[in-house]
Amino acid sequence: MRPILLIALSPLLLACTSETEPATVELPLFGDGYRADGDQCRRVGESAYTNQFLDDAADLVACPEDMENLGVFAIDTGGVEVDRVGGYVLYSVPVR
């Protein structure tokens, strides 16, 4: 009886997942590095997911989660972490 109950509840459990963060998000990255060519961080463009973080007064920047100097990046740029998704940390970086 329990396996049938679990199968019946599966769609309900899936419906409870967050709608703001899909299981697989493809970030529209562009450019050859943020601040300088070759940097690991890159600007993020507009998509249905990233729209919630875009701001006219800031760049949306994605840096790999395993990047060694994430803290230094945030301090140097004044970036504020707004999300973590798809192996990236998203920062809102004020335009200077």
Hey, where are the domains in the chain? 21-94
Return the higher-pLDDT residue of 81 and 15: 81
Predicted TM-score (pTM) of the model is: 0.75
Is the per-residue pLDDT at 35 higher than 60?
Answer: yes
CA separation for the pair 6, 56 (Å, rounded): 47
Exposed e or buried b per residue across 50-88, where buried means at least 16 C-beta atoms within 10 angstroms of its C-beta: beeeeeeebbbbbbeeeeeebeebbeebebeebbebbeb
pLDDT at 12: 46
Q: What is the mean pLDDT of residues 64-78?
A: 96
Return the higher-pLDDT residue of 26 and 24: 26
Lowest mean pLDDT among 13-27, 60-74, 77-91: 13-27
3 state SS of 73: helix
User: How many beta carbons lie within 10 A of that of residue 40, not counting itself?
Assistant: 16
Q: What is the mean pLDDT of the chain?
A: 84
Is the per-residue pLDDT at 14 higher than 70?
Answer: no
CA separation for the pair 96, 57 (Å, rounded): 9
Around 83, how many Cα atoms within 13 Å sit in the side-chain half-sphere?
Answer: 17
Q: What is the mean pLDDT of residues 23-35?
A: 90
DSSP code per residue over 48-63:
TTGGGG-BTTEEEEEE
